[in-house]
Structure 1
């Protein structure tokens, strides 16, 4: 999961948003230098194209450090002074201009390299924070296989308002997927609080509704400390029975899971309770639903970023239909297939995107 998330992160950022430049950008200065040199050598007449060499040092800045940029700048000056190329005819205007551009490009490359080092350090710290807040999901928790994908909506960040976790405790394997109000770094504190409440409740709360109640209390207390905070979060909680032949589900305003059974996908009917943290008086707490499982069944959980994604015409992403088509894929591949199809359907994604696939591994026992 971690390798796929890193690859997808590079695809989302793009080379104009901090990802390494593509290969064609790196080789472009060399190709341009070689092309101009060859063109002038094979031409029977002098070609007044020396000015094109001035583009090579600035192009080098996009991919190379100051030493490589200086080397390419020096090669440009050498080519300008080779008599056979006749690029410095009739005067030295091109030579002086390009020499100045080359020196300036070396300076710019030095500044860019230093800033890239700082950005790399900041991303390393951000990854460390992400792993501390939401550690990498193991492939298996107890007797339940796990595969997940998470992409923050805010470009340049690795942590957002969505999170999931799967834990084994004295009452079985429990999982949570939640969506905190808002996006980006301002939601991290709330994510940490809810995750802590969930992990504690997994160990000491015998009922799934009580786990939801613990998380709701945590969010209500945190919200009370901040004036006009209005913090809330939707959540979906699951608990697998000891024999893995059933799963108990509680929804606090989160989209219901999809059951993948015998090559088909269907949404499980779960009453959507009140989101965590709202504390609305007179409203019943979320109700638990028990669903039978058969060997080979899988549960697919997705956030609003998947369910509510739309194309240019406003059509929602047909998740259930797509999952039926992808039903034969391995759990580790399923999230990647949905992500690629979602990106093609909707273009740019504007919401946190979270997916989790849970597979009971011993359903037949």
Structure 2
């Protein structure tokens, strides 16, 4: 028997807003929910909903995709200047930070929703955004848990070294203190976020010693302070060449791949040690590889992009612009000699996670 619906039978919108809509699948159902009514459409378009949805949905391998800055993508992002260059600087929770060197601007972009927003200019820096391959500015992307605010650590490396913090909520910049000798740093790796710290592998050529030196720079996102961490010790041998240190996140722990060639009794071999960072900035060796280098057996240095969550990694395939899911143990076995890819490579493609997080605060 049909019963007339009364107001008491209606579900309050506050309940729909807080308990029902945030649990709807992003890919399959959000679009249909937008068509229900103007009130739903308006709420589903807010930055608040994007953050609520992210908290209730864990990320799986199906949520990760590859984004490529090709012609059609740039036309969508910059319709007034479709031919201008754009570089991928960092990514977190579905937001991709882009650098536009021609206009000296930074952009937050969600490739899944297609929404983008230009960031306010930095009034504290004497230099504009630089994308030179040799002194490219470095960006670390993190979330401030105390204020639920997405932030950027921006390191200006061209001409004058400066460190700045950008707040997504307030769209403002501020300069922070640098308490280490940053001017001697020649090259910085992309940032690796582990816990409440951003880590960078940094190299510098010390002319007085005629040697390249490596170390790790750690930025604590809570105290906003830097500290310098020594890399694991090398063998006591002068004939070490092509030294390279690369950070990677495995099973939630920060690891460092240290690779180099070494000459012993006129025999050249490729050495690679995987180290795990422990408490008090100490290192423990996890595994060591040694391959002879000759004409019949030569192992090239693999340059790869990875994204890590939980116990697996997504490894970007340079040839077909896709990625492979691999667990940490298999990664260690199959990628014995690898380093971070060049700036030219990482700036054009990246692995990101599909979310509804908005570039707008």
In the superposition, the TM-score normalised over structure 1's length comes to 0.31
Work out which of the two has the higher radius of gyration on C-alpha atoms and give 1 or 2.
1
In the superposition, the TM-score normalised over structure 2's length comes to 0.31
**Is the strand fraction higher in 1 or 2?**
2
**Is the helix fraction higher in 1 or 2?**
1
Q: Which has the higher contact order (CA 8 A, sep 6+)?
A: 2
